[in-house]
Chain A
Amino acid sequence: MLSKRIIPCLDIRNGQTVKGINFINIREVGDPIELGKLYSEQGADELVFLDITATHEGRKTFVELVKRIAFNLNIPFTVGGGISELKDADALLAAGADKISINSSAIKNPKLIDDLALHFGSQFVVVAIDAKEENNHWEATMHGGRLPTGKELFTWAKEAENRGAGEILFTSMNHDGTKNGFANEALTHLSDLLTIPLIASGGAGTMEHFADLFKYGKADAGLAASIFHFGEIAIPDLKSYLRKEGISMR
């Protein structure tokens, strides 16, 4: 049976992980490779590396980093951040990335999804959507939820699928950072609407939240950052808990 996926997300700046990471007994906390390997050994099903570097030099560092990640990891990984043209994606593919994630660049230029899917295949293209709910209306946003885009979440997600996205990564800005659980209602709706896999992000605080996500949110994968980085939830514990809850896990 196809298992549900658990995906830790790492923010990278100038080749180093950004958030203070608080693993007990791990010294190389800033090194994305060491962290990636650790998560992989713990049973993470995939990893996401988001480059939040703004500078040109930082971009080059990131591509070099992707090469080292690809060499060292034997599980799939997605890279995102700063991809606005085919050549950005091409450099990351050549470096060994399995998938790329695009967000605001797809909103500004939706045809980028078609072009990427045509050149590299849909399996390579993850469209990330950060959306916010207000008065029962979900709207895709940019710049960490501060900038509305005029695109309604469900319409935009379906458009992304039709244009050739291979997966949708949906982050609820209402839930992100709250640790009160995932946006299960919106996720169920999205999952029913889409024929491509759905990754849920935003709101993970407890192991029960992941069980709810897979039982009620109908997502194919759950993504989280700080709860893993700060050791609040250990991946082996999470997966054995979810197995007991009857959810298919690797």
Chain B
Amino acid sequence: MKVAIIKYNAGNIQSVDYALQRLGVEASITADHDEIRSADRVIFPGVGEASTTMAYLHAHGLDKLITELKQPVLGICLGLQLMCRHSEEGDVECLGIFSETVKKFILQHTMLPAMKIPHMGWNTIEGLKSSLFDSSIEGQHCYFVHSYYAETGPDTAAFCSYPTPFSAALQKDNFFAVQFHPEKSGPVGAKILENFLQLKINL
């Protein structure tokens, strides 16, 4: 199986590669359009700022490329946010694969214990509806680090609450995305990555 990890100006791509290697998959980290187009699976990871990253994707033609992909695509963290319609981070139009929009967490001082931003640590994912998940994952903890979140909407495939529900995962057709870091979410995350690699969907 050929797995392409999209290379762009984002941090911590290495950890995704390591996680795939632990599952016995050698991925290529690449920005080459043909290589990405011909891969069996494409992973769109990312840690970074939305508007500068969108500008980078646009300058390299990656925005159009990603939206036209037909094979299973997995967005992670910022990847999920960029696959949405719009992000408040830098007030930027994103790829528009999902109809949801991305907003900033607002501090709620009345919350006990006090709410902190970024939303950092292990939180439970619920309401799973995607072939990315199986019944063993409902209610399990995954590792999150983010200050912006995708609202819940028609494409929501799992939600997490902090304190109000947001999209922990989104799916539309061949496009999958998770807000948490499966590569850092212990055995649960490894199972989700494995499920992604083993997806059987009619394209």
Q: Is the CB of A195 within 8 A of B116?
A: yes
In the complex, chain A residues whose CB is within 8 Å of the CB of B48: 121
Q: Is the CB of A2 within 8 A of B119?
A: yes
Q: Judge if B29 is at the interface, Cβ distance under 8 Å.
A: no
Provide the bound-state CA to CA distance between A103 and B190, in Å: 33
Q: Is the CB of A74 within 8 A of B118?
A: no
Name the residue among A123, A166, A194, A221 with the largest chain B CB count within 10 angstroms: A123
Q: Judge if A172 is at the interface, Cβ distance under 8 Å.
A: no
Q: Judge if A176 is at the interface, Cβ distance under 8 Å.
A: no
Q: Judge if B187 is at the interface, Cβ distance under 8 Å.
A: yes
Q: Is the CB of B114 within 8 A of A218?
A: yes
Q: Is the CB of A71 within 8 A of B141?
A: no
Q: Is the CB of A96 within 8 A of B47?
A: no
B137 to chain A, nearest CB (A): 14
In the complex, chain A residues whose CB is within 8 Å of the CB of B120: 123, 166-167, 197, 220
Interface size on B, residues (CB 8 A): 38
B21's nearest neighbour on chain A, judged by CB, is A71
Q: Is the CB of A197 within 8 A of B118?
A: yes
Q: Is the CB of B145 within 8 A of A195?
A: no
Q: Is the CB of A1 within 8 A of B124?
A: yes
Q: Judge if B56 is at the interface, Cβ distance under 8 Å.
A: no
Provide the bound-state CA to CA distance between A131 and B114, in Å: 23
Given A123-B47, A250-B122, the answer on whether A220 and B11 have CB atoms closer than 8 Å is no
Provide the bound-state CA to CA distance between A5 and B143, in Å: 11
In the complex, chain B residues whose CB is within 8 Å of the CB of A191: 113-114
Q: Judge if A134 is at the interface, Cβ distance under 8 Å.
A: no
Q: Judge if B185 is at the interface, Cβ distance under 8 Å.
A: yes
In the complex, chain B residues whose CB is within 8 Å of the CB of A45: 121-122
Q: Is the CB of B122 within 8 A of A71?
A: no
Provide the bound-state CA to CA distance between A123 and B78, in Å: 13
Please list the residues of chain A having a beta carbon within 8 angstroms of any beta carbon in chain B: 1-5, 40, 45, 70-71, 74-76, 93-96, 98, 120-124, 166-167, 191-192, 194-198, 218, 220-221, 250
Please list the residues of chain B having a beta carbon within 8 angstroms of any beta carbon in chain A: 11-12, 14-15, 18-19, 21-22, 47-49, 107, 113-114, 116-124, 141, 143, 145-147, 161-162, 181, 183-187, 189-190
The 6 lowest CB-CB distance pairs between A and B, nearest first, are A250-B141, A250-B122, A96-B14, A197-B116, A2-B123, A123-B145
